[in-house]
Structure 1
Amino acid sequence: MRDVLRRMRRANRPHLHTLSAQQARVAYEAGAGVLEIAKQALPRVEDIRIAARDGTALPARLYAPSTCAPLPVLLYLHGGGFTIGSVATHDVLCRQLAHLAGCAVVSLDYRLAPEHQFPTAINDAWDALQWLAAHGDTLGLDTQRMAVGGDSAGGTLAAACAILARDAGLSLQLQLLIYPGTCAHQDTDSHFRYAHALVLEREGILWFFDQYVRNDADREDWRFAPLLAPDVEGVAPAFLCLAELDPLVDEGVQYADMLRMAGVPVDLEIYKGVTHEFIKMGRAIPEARQAHADMAAALRAALGTSPTV
């Protein structure tokens, strides 16, 4: 991890928060695969469209480790502060999860800020989850065995979707939360302890959220800050994957505690010595490959699948 940070400093690329949103997207996509593991070949990779509530056809990509149907499915929501990231930037990770977990993965290109501010991203994510529950069987998916997951901002969306699913009576077997943002004001100790020089910096977090939220009231909405949810009893079991050296680690632990206090089964892993974004550094960081295996094991246990041979 120290070597990765050293190389990042030597590269001396501009911080994302000093760029426009469009420039930041291009820069993030250009670097997204540099430290990734090799791309896993799968028998089925298919670009699809999912209808949002306003009629927009949202792009998504379906990954399947087998052509045998029906397969249980994970709806995956990429990270990027609601402003950057895409199906393309998380392609390698989604392929690996499908391969190791033996389930289908549907990765969603929800709409990004600042063009589409809160609550567009969570509306898109929730619409996609409902669409999969209603229409997934037409794609060879087992809609009785579903999970939702995501990293960073995508973890926030996944946590909110799990609450919405509980309220709507939509059964989920697992919520896979990878260093999710859960608090309203980024004021935990870890936000200050790890504010600089560890991949995700405080200035960047504030810049991302300034793109996404319209006003202070949005920050107090539990769909932005799941720690503010009035009740999480009865939501899907959770697997939380956190990085030790991450501004978001404290709020991840707090959310795990909140779920446990409500009687929700929770597995929590804090990977030592690594930073935010580490799960996309599998070529350089052994902990990333361990996290892939751990997340896949949690999915297999929840969805009743076997790893792809």
Structure 2
Amino acid sequence: MDSTSWKAYGKIDPEFEAVLPHLPPAKSFADYGSAENLRTTIGEQMTQSIQAGIFKLVDWTGVVKQDIQIPTRDGQSIRAVRYAPESKEGGPLFVYFHGGGWTFGFPEAWESGFEVLTKELGFVVLSVDYRLAPEHIFPTAANDAWDSVQWAAQNPSTLGVNLAQGFIVGGTSAGANLAAIASHEATDTAISPPVTGQFLAFANLLHYDAVPEKYKPHFNSWEEFKDAMFLDQRGMKWFYEQYKIDPQSHLGSPLLWPSGHKSQPPTYFQAAGMDPARDETLIYEYILREESGVLTKLDVYGGLPHGATDFLPMLSKSKQALSDAGAGFEWLLSTKQKQSKV
């Protein structure tokens, strides 16, 4: 593996640099003190951003949006939100897991992406409200993710989907961690219909205390961006502490999956150049592509920190990431069609 070019991704984006003086002082997630305080503050900030016009509310004309309850293995149920085109039945399915360090977040977090998928590509989206730490510690979120994917596979008529058209799992940040776990569970158990693709955005895939020796020379972003904006090393450690993660468990670090990765479906990655988690994404993409023979597609947004494409949607690269996501899903659908013809 040649990771010498990865350092160039860390050169700050000029547009992001220009807005830095106008942003509030950087604050680590660790400084919020409690998950409850973090959730309240983030909710207030989102409301203020919407009121200020930074985040625009999506026009859901032509899309059905409804709550669904998904049963879990422990006899409970979790909320999910279904987004479906009014004018089309039997399209592909995308099961999404939001970010938030397994500690905060909500299913509506990536509605800008859901709009593209439902209106332009005909997807039905199932966005899952998995249970959060510290109230629900490891591996509850991972179990909820797998339970949700199994439920989706068993209930295509309820969702109004045709899984033969496409069955994609994905997520952002900690949600991408859960998606990768669910995808491995699906292939290990030969779930039917099979998962046909993955979308892993700014993913947490490998605990910093569990990096295999062969990949340590390439795992540099963790220290290089330990003080990065939005997500710093202290904040990431705080999230791990809230979730009570087992660093060596494949349910915490899916890059360490015991059965390997050769059965994984085609995978589309997005990564940020100034993200402490950047290199675990790039290492995993290499493992899938070069060591496991899995089809991959990768977009890296150089000079941006973790979360910038969501928190700063006005940036050109944030807009590009949304456009790229649409193209990435089209690519995932095209690989499904090619496989069907084999």
Structure of greater Rg: 2
Aligned partner of residue 297 in structure 2, secondary structure: strand
Aligned: 1:234 with 2:263? yes
Q: Matched residues in 1 for 2:224 and 2:230: separation? A: 13
In the other structure, the counterpart of 1:102 is 122
Q: Matched residues in 2 for 1:13 and 1:30: separation? A: 17
1:285 maps to which of 315, 318, 324: 315
Give yes or no for contact 1:199–1:277 (8 Å, CA) kept in 2. Answer: yes
Give yes or no for contact 1:194–1:247 (8 Å, CA) kept in 2. Answer: yes
Q: Matched residues in 1 for 2:134 and 2:202: separation? A: 22
Aligned partner of residue 70 in structure 1, secondary structure: coil
Alpha-carbon shift at residue 4 of structure 1 (Å) = 4.2
Give yes or no for contact 1:17–1:203 (8 Å, CA) kept in 2. Answer: yes
Q: Matched residues in 2 for 1:271 and 1:2: separation? A: 14
Give yes or no for contact 1:182–1:251 (8 Å, CA) kept in 2. Answer: yes
1:29 maps to which of 43, 50, 64: 43
Q: What is the total number of aligned residue pairs between the two structures? A: 300
- Residues 245-292 of structure 1: CA deviation (Å, up to 9, x unaligned): 111111100000111110110111111221211231464112122111
- Residues 178-210 of structure 1: CA deviation (Å, up to 9, x unaligned): 011111226731011111142211110000000
Aligned partner of residue 143 in structure 1, secondary structure: coil
In the other structure, the counterpart of 1:156 is 177
Q: Matched residues in 2 for 1:254 and 1:232: separation? A: 13
Give yes or no for contact 1:79–1:154 (8 Å, CA) kept in 2. Answer: yes
In the other structure, the counterpart of 2:200 is 177
1:5 maps to which of 2, 13, 20: 20
2:282 maps to which of 253, 256, 270: 253
- Residues 48-81 of structure 1: CA deviation (Å, up to 9, x unaligned): 1111111212111011234321121100000010
In the other structure, the counterpart of 1:202 is 233
Question: Identity of counterpart residues, as a percentage?
Answer: 32
Structure (1 or 2) with the greater strand fraction: 1
Task: Between 281-290 and 236-245, report the one with greater CA deviation.
Answer: 281-290
Aligned partner of residue 105 in structure 1, secondary structure: strand
Aligned partner of residue 239 in structure 1, secondary structure: strand
In the other structure, the counterpart of 2:160 is 140
Give yes or no for contact 1:149–1:176 (8 Å, CA) kept in 2. Answer: yes
Q: Matched residues in 1 for 2:233 and 2:326: separation? A: 30
Aligned AA (1:2): E
In the other structure, the counterpart of 2:9 is none
Aligned partner of residue 85 in structure 1, secondary structure: coil
Q: Matched residues in 2 for 1:206 and 1:13: separation? A: 17
TM alignment of 1:48-127, pairs within 5 A: 48-127=68-147
Give yes or no for contact 1:114–1:211 (8 Å, CA) kept in 2. Answer: yes
Q: Matched residues in 1 for 2:39 and 2:112: separation? A: 17
Give yes or no for contact 1:53–1:127 (8 Å, CA) kept in 2. Answer: yes
Aligned AA (1:17): A
Aligned partner of residue 74 in structure 1, secondary structure: strand
2:242 maps to which of 188, 211, 220: 211
Aligned AA (1:274): L
What are the ranges of 5 or more consecutive residues in structure 2 without an aligned counterpart? 1-15, 212-218, 337-342
Q: Matched residues in 2 for 1:197 and 1:180: separation? A: 16
RMSD over aligned CA atoms reads 2.1
Alpha-carbon shift at residue 6 of structure 1 (Å) = 2.9
Aligned partner of residue 131 in structure 1, secondary structure: helix
Q: Matched residues in 2 for 1:178 and 1:64: separation? A: 22
Cα gap change, 1:90/1:255 in structure 2, threshold over 3 Å: closer, same or farther? same
Cα gap change, 1:65/1:279 in structure 2, threshold over 3 Å: closer, same or farther? farther
TM-score of the aligned structures, taking structure 2 as reference length: 0.82
What are the ranges of 5 or more consecutive residues in structure 1 without an aligned counterpart? none
Give yes or no for contact 2:268–2:332 (8 Å, CA) kept in 1. Answer: no
Aligned: 1:244 with 2:273? yes
TM-score of the aligned structures, taking structure 1 as reference length: 0.90
Task: Between 95-104 and 222-231, report the one with greater CA deviation.
Answer: 95-104
